[in-house]
Structure 1
């Protein structure tokens, strides 16, 4: 798998070796507006695919972020405690939310690639 994979809820997964980096897409951060607070999972937490990964609060609303895959949280982006707007500025870079040790790599196959996600967003 190369590049990111995406969900219909606008989360992304990017593999870095055996670790999956998870966050929200540029489309999601645009819809949320200015992000002011993010509640992240604790390292060691086990997440199921579709389970709550984080909560993002913006000037518009609070939104749940769901885990696109199952796995164990190996890191949370603690820099977002002081700089939650990093998600607005660079959602696929410094605005990542958590890193997971993948429990079932087959779950990645059910996610959209970049072209499919782009087409999905354009259909909204």
Structure 2
């Protein structure tokens, strides 16, 4: 099997939480080349488990939506010092109002988080610097 830089063609990488390098490499390829994701890739990324800040930020950028969880992804990405371009792109996609609304929803006592997808994002979010 040849390795392609496609989220859709490498769905197994994105559904296996143990695979990190290939997942990050493909996400970086999409980001650096400004490749737009299709609906199949969107579904894959929405269900992708990752424990690292860079892939969390890249997924947030590629999804580009204003869902509360994605706002958290983008907020984390805005603090990512290892890739200042990614940090700026993430920061440019969100506002303070977006952040406050996402926090109100996701920090509500009745919100039931998905341990598989959301737990790593929440853990990093709690540890983030308090100013941007």
TM-score strictly above 0.5: no
Bigger-Rg structure (1/2) = 2
Q: TM-score scaled to structure 1, two decimals?
A: 0.26
More helix by share: 2
Q: TM-score scaled to structure 2, two decimals?
A: 0.25
